[in-house]
Structure 1
Amino acid sequence: LQQEDKEGFGKINTRPGKIILFSEAGFAGQKREIWGDIPDATSWELSHTISIRVIRGGWVMYEKPRFHGRKCVLAEGDVEINNPWTAYGQNGQLRGTQPFRIGSFKRVVRDYRTPAISLFAEENGEGARLKFTDSAEDIRIQGQPLAAASIIVHSGLWLVYSKPFFDDDPYVLEPGGYPNLKAWGAKDPSICSMHPIRLGCPVVERPGEPQVLIYEAAGFQGRSFSVSRDIYDLKHLAGTTLPTVGSLHVLGGCWVGYEKEGFRGHQYLLEEGQYQDWRHWGGYSKELVSLRLIRTDFSTPALVLFEAMDFEEGPSVELSEALPDTQLAGYGTVTQSIHVLSGVWVAYEGTNFSGEQYILEKGVYRSCEDWGATDCRITSVQPILQVR
C-alpha cells in the first residue's frame, strides 16, 4: 500500500479527528474536546447519560483503559448514550442511575480508504474466502447464514452481525486478523449482515474565527506562532523564520495549504484539527509554504462539472452532495470546466476522495489550470459543510 499511497491518485487522503463530549444528556454539563486517542479516561466525571458529538472520524469507546474491554462504536453525528457497560444489575434490573465510566477512546477511521473485510471458511485465514467492501444487510445464501471461522479486516471499522438487517448487538472489528471465533468474541460462526463506518464530508465549525498554530517540528514541538490570515510565503514571514512547517493545529476556519509559495503546487485541505506531521495533512512531501483561508459561504452547496472547456456543449453533471465516483452519475473521468454555484467543494483526481485535491470556491473555472491542475482528471467530489 505504501507505494500506492505515493503514486498519483492512489494517495489516501486523511482527516483529523474530533469529538465533543458532554457530561450530561441534552448536550449539557461539562464539555470536553477530544482530538485523538485517549488511553485512560477513567477519571472523567460523567452522569449516567452522556451526549457525544462526533465532528470527524470513526471512533471506538472502550469500557477499560488502554483500549480493552467491551466496545461502543461512535460514527460522525450526535448521539446520547446511557451507560452501556452497567445497563443491567445482577438480577436484570435496569440500573439507570449508575454514573458513566469510560475506559478509553481510539480513533480508528482516519481516512477515505475503502473499507474491506474478508471472511474465511477455516481458521487462520484458510479455506474459501468472501471479501466485502460495503454495507450488506443480508448476506445469507438461501436463508442460511455465512459461517466465518476467521476474519481479516483489511481496512475500516466494521460492525458484524449474527442476524440479518443489522439486528442485535454487533461484533466490533478493527483492522487486523481474527484467526478464530474467540478472537472477535463469538461463540457461533454465523454472520448475516455487516456495516463499515465511513467518514462523511469535510466540515468547518468556526469559519468566522480563523486561527492556525504552526510549529517548526513534528508533534507540536519547537518554536510556534499563530496566524489568522493568508500567508503568501511562510519562509519569508516578517518577524518569524521557520525553515519548515513540522506540524499544525487548526483551531478555527477551513484552510488550504500549498506546497509552494504564492498558493501554488499541491493543495491540501486543512480542516480544524491536529496535524502531527506532513503525512497527516496528506502531503506528497514535507513542503508546506503558503496558507489560504476559505472565506466563501459554506451553505447550500451546488456545482456543475463540464467535460468540455469553457462550458461548451457536451456531457455535464450537477451535484449538491458528495459523489465518490463520477461514473456513478453516468459522467466520465474528464472535467475541463467547473461552475461552482454555491458553497465550497473539494474535487479529487481519484475515486473515493483520493489523490490530488482541488479546493473550489464559488465562481467559474474555465479550464483545469484555473483550479491548479495539470490534467483534467476528476473522479470524485464532495462539499465542505458547516457544522450547525
Structure 2
Amino acid sequence: ITFYEDRGFQGRHYECSSDHANLQPCFGRCNSIRVDSGCWMLYEQPDYSGCQYFLRRGDYPDYQQWMGLNDSVRSCRLIPHAGSHRIRLYEREDYRGQMIEITEDCSSLQDRFHFNEIYSLNVLEGSWVLYELPSYRGRQYLLRPGDHRRYHDWGAVNAKVGSLRRITFYEDRGFQGRHYECSSDHSNLQPCFGRCNSIRVDSGCWMLYEQPDYQGHQYFLRRGDYPDYQQWMGLNDSTSSHRLRMYEREDYRGQVAELTEDCSSLRDRFHFNEIRSLHVLEGWWVLYEMPNYRGRQYLVRPGDYRHYHDWGALDARVGSLRRAVDFY
C-alpha cells in the first residue's frame, strides 16, 4: 500500500507492506492511496485507534473514496487471507442473550435477524468488517479471529451494527472457473488445477513454467490481468538497475556485448543471432528466442551462465532481451 500526501497520487509518498502502528513520522497528511495487493484497514489515529477504513486493491485518488472524514491516517493493518469465514453475534455483553452465527455477508442485520445492536461477538474463522449502518455504510470496524466481549473491544463507541461483510481477496471480474492463489515459488502446480486459461498478477514479477520443477517453456508476467493464455506473451518497458554481458562463445569466449536496457533485436543492434554464454551482473532479465519479445522465454537471474543449457534453452538462439521489472 502506498500513501500520498496530496490528491491524485501526488506529493511525498510512503510505501508500506505490513502492519504499522504509527505512521506519523512517515507523512504529515494522506489525501490519496494506491493499494497494489492485499486488504488493509486504515486507522485515523496511531496504535490502531480512531475511525477505521477498509481498503482492498485499487486506486483511491482522494480521501472521500475510502469514506474518510479527513486526511488523517496514522496507522494501518494488513489483513491476512482466510479461506472460510464464521462469526457468532450476541445480543448482550460476555456472550449472553440471543446468539446468531453467520458465514456469509449480511447487508442488513435488522432485516435478516431483527438485530440493531451487537454487544459481544466471537470471530471463529476469517476476518470481517462491521459497518454501523445497513448496506455496508457508516463507520467501519475490523474484526479478526478471537473474542470480543463488549463493543469497546472492536473500537466502537456504541453497540450499533447495521451490516457485516467477509474480507476476501479476489473477485471474479471475468476470470471464471476454479482458481488457485499463490504467493511464493511452487515447483508442482498439477494437484492445484488441471488447466490454466487466465491469470491475475496482483503484485511482483513471476516466471511461469509449462512443466513441473521449473521445466519447459517459460512465460514472464508482471502485475496485471491476463484474460487468456495468449495475453502473457507481450510486456511493457520500465526502468531499474540492470546489467548483463553476452558472449558469442561458451565459457565467456568470443565477442562480448554489454546491455543495461531492453533490446528488441540483438541482430539489428549487435549482429548477434546466437548467445552461447552470458553473465548477469545486475537485475533479472528475460531472454526471447525471437526479435520483438516473441517466442520461447527464459528467465536469467544474477550469476554465471557458461552454456545455453544453463538457462534452460535447447539451442543458442536469442532474438531479444528484456529487463524483468515491476510497477508499484
Report the TM-score when normalising by structure 2.
0.51
Instruction: Say whether the 8 Å CA contact 1:259–1:265 is kept in structure 2.
Output: no
Instruction: Say whether the 8 Å CA contact 1:76–1:200 is kept in structure 2.
Output: no
Instruction: Say whether the 8 Å CA contact 2:36–2:203 is kept in structure 1.
Output: no
**Cα distance in 1, alignment partners of residues 108 and 69 from structure 2:** 31
Q: 1:102 aligns with which of 43, 60, 73?
A: 73
Structure 1 unaligned runs (5+)? 1-18, 88-99, 203-253, 275-287, 303-339, 345-385
Instruction: Say whether the 8 Å CA contact 2:129–2:143 is kept in structure 1.
Output: yes
Q: 2:13 aligns with which of 20, 31, 37?
A: 31
Distance 1:171 1:31, change over 3 A: closer
Distance 1:266 1:174, change over 3 A: closer
Shift of 1:55: 1.4
Equivalent pairs counted in the alignment come to 211
**Cα distance in 1, alignment partners of residues 47 and 112 from structure 2:** 42
Distance 1:121 1:103, change over 3 A: same
- Could you tell me the percent identity over the aligned residues? 20
Q: 1:258 aligns with which of 172, 186, 191?
A: 186
Residues 186-265 of structure 1: pairs in structure 2 closer than 5 A: 186=156, 188-200=158-170, 257-259=185-187
Please give the secondary structure, in 2, of the residue aligned with 1:63.
strand
Please give the secondary structure, in 2, of the residue aligned with 1:182.
helix
Residues 1-388 of structure 1: pairs in structure 2 closer than 5 A: 19-47=1-29, 49-79=30-60, 80-81=62-63, 87=70, 100-108=71-79, 110-141=80-111, 144-186=114-156, 188-200=158-170, 257-259=185-187, 272=203, 290=214, 294-295=219-220, 301-302=227-228, 342-343=230-231
Instruction: Say whether the 8 Å CA contact 1:59–1:75 is kept in structure 2.
Output: yes
Higher relative contact order (CA 8 A, sep 6+): 1
User: Does 292-301 or 162-171 show the bigger shift?
Assistant: 292-301
Instruction: Say whether the 8 Å CA contact 1:257–1:290 is kept in structure 2.
Output: no
Instruction: Say whether the 8 Å CA contact 1:44–1:102 is kept in structure 2.
Output: no
Report the TM-score when normalising by structure 1.
0.44
Shift of 1:52: 0.6
Please give the secondary structure, in 1, of the residue aligned with 2:94.
helix
What corresponds to 2:308 in structure 1?
Answer: none
Shift of 1:112: 4.1
Letter in 2 for 1:52: I
Please give the secondary structure, in 2, of the residue aligned with 1:183.
helix
Letter in 2 for 1:22: Y
Please give the secondary structure, in 2, of the residue aligned with 1:26.
helix
Distance 1:128 1:294, change over 3 A: farther
Structure 2 unaligned runs (5+)? 173-181, 194-198, 206-211, 233-325
Cα-to-partner distance string for 1:342-387 (whole Å, 9 max, x where unaligned): 457xxxxxxxxxxxxxxxxxxxxxxxxxxxxxxxxxxxxxxxxx98
Distance 1:67 1:289, change over 3 A: farther
Cα-to-partner distance string for 1:298-334 (whole Å, 9 max, x where unaligned): 65514xxxxxxxxxxxxxxxxxxxxxxxxxxxxxxxx
Shift of 1:150: 0.9
RMSD: 4.3
